[in-house]
Amino acid sequence: MKKMNFPCKKGRFITFEGMEGCGKSTQIRLLAEALTARGLAVEVSRSPGGTPVAEKIRTLLKVRTEGDELTPEAELLLFSACHAQMTRRLILPVLERGGILLSDRFFDSTTAYQGYARGLDLDLVLRINRFACGELEPDLTLVLDLDPELGIERSRCRGAVETDRFDSEKMKFHHDVRNAFLTLAELNPGRFRVIDASRTPEQVHQQIMEAVDDTLADLR
């Protein structure tokens, strides 16, 4: 596959991964506030989503369509379309401006959910991810690790389980997702950091700041 030539990036791309209810939204907000206080230019996005087109794709992926459930293959391709749009219309422009982009999920979720948990061919998933993103990778991926039962209980408290296609999956699916993220972290130790998300929000934030400081050392 021909590698896409992207201009040299000046900023940093940090992604948050983890199962449902692990606290990504809270921690992204806390990190954005901390980095903004340092005078850094920070933008926040989410996957699926982040651009007008990608937000439309998000609705297809997150909300069940009665009588026409998405197949795993359709999920994979829709996520890939979203990431292709995000990469070229959102992520690269932010990085070229020297900004920091924080994203609630990116292609590692596709690998975990559609590859490991849905059982699609992993080599194919990785190739499609690479094609969609032009081989762009996050500078740092933070996996907020949490027991699946606790994560789903948190989702239930915010009323997401019944309406969200992924929250409402069976518990085995959520265990498979968690194990997938831990496996990806073991396979990519240079990019991934596993964060204990069972602690208090303040303690989780402290773990994240320690991981982020190394990645942003030359941007201070």
Residue with tokens 């690790």: 145
Give the CATH class of 12-219. Answer: alpha beta
For 156-186, how does the pLDDT look when each residue is reduced to its tens digit (9 = 90+)? 776 554 456 777 778 899 999 999 999 999 9
Q: Tokens in use for 116?
A: 């490991």
Domain boundaries, the chain: 12-219
The reported pLDDT for the residue numbered 158 is 63
For 52-77, how does the pLDDT look when each residue is reduced to its tens digit (9 = 90+)? 999 999 999 988 778 888 999 999 99
pLDDT range class, residue 113, cuts 50, 70, 90: very high
pTM higher than 0.85:
yes
Pairing status of strand 12-17 against strand 100-104: parallel
Taking 80 as the threshold, does the pLDDT of residue 149 lie above it?
yes
Contacts of 37 (CB under 8 A, 6+ apart): none
Measured CA to CA, the distance from residue 58 to residue 52 in angstroms comes to: 10
19 neighbors 151 (Cβ within 8 angstroms): yes
Q: What percent of the chain has pLDDT over 70?
A: 91
